[in-house]
A and B are shown apart, each in its own frame.
Chain A
Amino acid sequence: MKKLVIAAAISTLLSMPAVQAADYVIDTQGAHAFIQFKVSHLGYSWLHGRFNTFSGNFSYDDKNLAASKISLEIDTKSVDSNHAERDKHLRSADFLNVDKQPKASFVSTKMVPKDGANFDVVGNFTLNGVTKEITIAAAKTGEGKDPWGGYRAGFEGKTSINLSDYGIKNILGPASETVQLDLVVEGIRQ
């Protein structure tokens, strides 16, 4: 019985794809990654902001997208819309509630190839303690050796979320219910 289990384990291992996805750490150290948001102001214009502190890593394999994955953790306190009073309000219980919910996160569950460099990243996004599945429309922007002896790969992604889905009451007016998220992710291969 024991031998059978071991044999089964070995055969499983052998049947796994020969090419392993490479692991990357997102280059937050060098600030070559950005988590930005934009939300309508009164329906007339846009407000842009970003999260300054986050970390994450991903695995990526050009030949086997299905084996790729990404996870991100965002420090909600680091919200920055270039206005101290507004950022204070954004951190309060009216919006991000950072005292109780200091972290937001995204963990991918599957990758869906599309045409060319485009693909969808499906995963669980947690904000204000609420986890929902979202789809990020992503594309690879490039990869290759960097001038300092390393290897880098870069991606862009776009998605949008509704505030009310995450238990955040929209007090900014109907046009501001949807927040667009723009991600720029550059990873250094480990």
Chain B
Amino acid sequence: MQTEQQNNATKPKTLHYNNLSVSLHWLMALMVVALFALGFWMVDLTYYSSWYKTAPYWHKSIGILLFALLLLRLFWRFKTGKPEALASQNMKLQQVAAIVHMLLYLLLFSIVLTGYLISTADGRGIEVFSWFELPALGELFAEQADIAGALHKWFAYVLMALVAMHAAGAVKHHFVDKDATLKRMWWHKN
């Protein structure tokens, strides 16, 4: 009894995501939606559109930055842990949410990776905002640009479906269940 209390004391219960996690969450959410919209729009640009070269350049640059933020976020998540699940949520719901969260991470990673593989299949690096060039690994397997391109597209569609599910869940918890699910992913004072 005594030791359990001490353990609880050293690792205090929290119901909130910490402010850095919240910042990363919303910044990346914005970037992910913007990247999808930009990608969806830019593939149908005509050759003479003034965006024909700039849109992919922005898409790639933001995508690489998203990857850097993803690494930072995962690092921070493992370092600081995750807040306790809300008591009002049953085990099954928590499991579904955990699976969706895991898939979101996995898809984000896969989409950036496949995007990288499209553009670097000929050995050209990716220029990030005229700031630095991410080097290429060249062609790692046959028909790399085509295979990676198809996966990039379908992973993005699946990601958007999951994002919609994730957002619908948050909205439902906030307005219907009136619990703290959405609030704990917002900035707070300690």
A87 to B146, CA, bound (A): 9
A residues near B48, Cβ cutoff 8 Å: 173
A residues near B119, Cβ cutoff 8 Å: 84-85
Q: Give the interface SS of chain A, mostly helix, strand, loop or mixed.
A: helix
CB distance from B85 to the nearest CB of A (A): 44
Given A88-B145, A88-B146, A88-B149, are A82 and B47 also a contact pair (CB < 8 Å)? no
Interchain residue pairs with CB less than 8 A apart (22): A77-B143, A82-B122, A83-B124, A84-B119, A84-B120, A84-B122, A84-B124, A84-B139, A84-B144, A84-B145, A85-B118, A85-B119, A85-B145, A87-B122, A87-B145, A88-B118, A88-B145, A88-B146, A91-B146, A171-B47, A172-B47, A173-B47
Task: Produce 1/0 per residue, A70-82, CB < 8 A to B.
Answer: 0000000100001
Task: Produce 1/0 per residue, B118-158, CB < 8 A to A.
Answer: 11111010000000000000010001111001000000000
Residue of A nearest to B150 (CB): A88
Task: Produce 1/0 per residue, A151-190, CB < 8 A to B.
Answer: 0000000000000000000011100000000000000000
In the A-B complex, the 8 residue pairs with the closest CB atoms: A84-B121, A84-B122, A88-B145, A84-B145, A172-B47, A171-B47, A88-B146, A88-B149
**Total count of chain B residues near the partner, CB < 8 A:** 16
Judge whether B7 is part of the interface by a CB distance below 8 angstroms.
Answer: no
Task: Produce 1/0 per residue, B100-126, CB < 8 A to A.
Answer: 000000000000000000111110100
A84 to B138, CA, bound (A): 10
Q: Give the interface SS of chain B, mostly helix, strand, loop or mixed.
A: loop
Residues of chain B at the chain A interface (Cβ within 8 Å):
46-48, 56, 118-122, 124, 139, 143-146, 149
A91 to B143, CA, bound (A): 11
B residues near A84, Cβ cutoff 8 Å: 118-122, 124, 139, 144-145
B residues near A85, Cβ cutoff 8 Å: 56, 118-119, 145
**Total count of chain A residues near the partner, CB < 8 A:** 11
Is B149 in contact with A171, judged by CB distance below 8 angstroms? no
Residue of A nearest to B120 (CB): A84
A172 to B46, CA, bound (A): 8
A188 to B143, CA, bound (A): 31
Q: Given known contacts A84-B124, A88-B149, A171-B47, what 7 new A-B pairs fall within 8 Å (CB)?
A: A83-B124, A84-B120, A84-B122, A84-B144, A84-B145, A85-B118, A85-B145
A84 to B47, CA, bound (A): 17
CB distance from A78 to the nearest CB of B (A): 11
A85 to B48, CA, bound (A): 17
A residues near B144, Cβ cutoff 8 Å: 84
B residues near A171, Cβ cutoff 8 Å: 46-47
A83 to B122, CA, bound (A): 6
Residue of A nearest to B123 (CB): A84
Task: Produce 1/0 per residue, A51-93, CB < 8 A to B.
Answer: 0000000000000000000000000010000111101100100
